[in-house]
Amino acid sequence: MNREPAKRPHQDLSVWQRAMSPVEQVYACSSTFPESERFGLTAQMRRAAVSISSNIAEGAARRSTPEYLRFLSIARGSLSELDTQLQIAVRPGYGKVPSDMASCIDDVFAVPTGRVNALRTREAPR
């Protein structure tokens, strides 16, 4: 029996789809970092990148708007962490960071921010 897994609801979210791009880019660029950074910056950047889409998916699976907002906030924190780590990688000249990585991070960062603002507005007492 060879069945494809069912598509999960978070996979339809544009924010999740966009958050997958930095993961791919980080894995590609960090593979060129010095071996001495394998357990340092490389691992940290990969964890931060994976955390972004993972937290979006986990938040979308929660049953309440406040929980979803909390996980979107965590995803935004991971984006900021990744942005800092990329700047740290650029300064000593580790590997080649994709030229569009900053705009990719900005793009992904804007979506949870907009989603958080929309959900908070909807949840606000009137």
CA distance 34 to 111: 33
The reply to whether 3 falls in a domain is no
Q: pLDDT by residue (tens digit) across 85-95?
A: 999 998 898 87
CB atoms within 10 A of CB 107: 14
Residue 120 has pLDDT above 60, yes or no: yes
Residue 123 has pLDDT above 70, yes or no: no
pTM value surpassing 0.85: no
Domain that holds residue 100: 13-123
The reply to whether 88 falls in a domain is yes
The reply to whether 99 falls in a domain is yes
Q: pLDDT by residue (tens digit) across 101-119?
A: 888 888 888 876 677 677 6
What pLDDT was estimated at residue 4? 61
DSSP 8-state assignment for residue 13:
-
Q: Are 42 and 2 in contact (CB under 8 A)?
A: no
The reply to whether 2 falls in a domain is no
CA distance 64 to 71: 11
What pLDDT was estimated at residue 101? 84
Domain count, the chain: 1
What pLDDT was estimated at residue 34? 92
The reply to whether 105 falls in a domain is yes
The reply to whether 4 falls in a domain is no
- The identity of residue 79, as a single letter, is L
CA distance 55 to 73: 9
- The CATH number of residue 28's host domain is 1.20.1440.60
Q: pLDDT by residue (tens digit) across 37-74?
A: 999 999 999 999 999 999 999 998 988 888 988 998 89
User: Tokens 């010095």 map to which residue?
Assistant: 34
